[in-house]
Amino acid sequence: MSVSEADIAFARELFAGLGPLSHRKMMGGLCLYRDGTIFAILNSDGSIWLKGAGSAAARMVSEGWERWTYTRKDGKETSMPYWRLPDAALDDPDVACSLARSALSEL
């Protein structure tokens, strides 16, 4: 399943306050970039995941954001440095952009 054009439009509108964005489809999803730096992934199910590092990642953990994990072929669970954007941010572009700016400042 691939990411829909409607989901791409939603994500671009949600983060429009960050200024010019670019994107690239990858593995059924979409990577979002600001000034050439990946800051978020749009999954094929419509979920948006912010990349976290440093204090931004610490905040995501302390606030209980869901971390992107998957199970490898050998059965080992692996975590990626991405956390699901909270539902409240999906309804408020100002909150979404503020969280994205925080994440970008650590990348």
pLDDT in tens, 38-86: 999 999 888 999 999 999 999 999 999 999 999 999 999 999 999 999 9
Provide the token pair at 60. Answer: 């995501």
| Residue percentage of the chain with pLDDT more than 90 | 85
Distance from CA of residue 84 to its chain's centroid? 6
Q: Based on the number of CB atoms within 10 Å of its own CB, is 10 exposed (0-12), middle (13-18) or buried (19 or more)?
A: middle
Crossing angle for the helix pair 5-14 and 93-105, to the nearest 10 degrees: 80
Provide the token pair at 83. Answer: 């956390």
Fold of the domain built from segment(s) 5-105: Yope Regulator; Chain: A, (3.30.1460)
> 107 falls in which pLDDT band (50, 70, 90)?
confident
Which sequence spans correspond to the domains of the chain?
A: 5-105
Task: Check if the beta carbon of residue 89 is closer than 8 Å to that of residue 95.
Answer: yes
Provide the token pair at 51. Answer: 């990349």
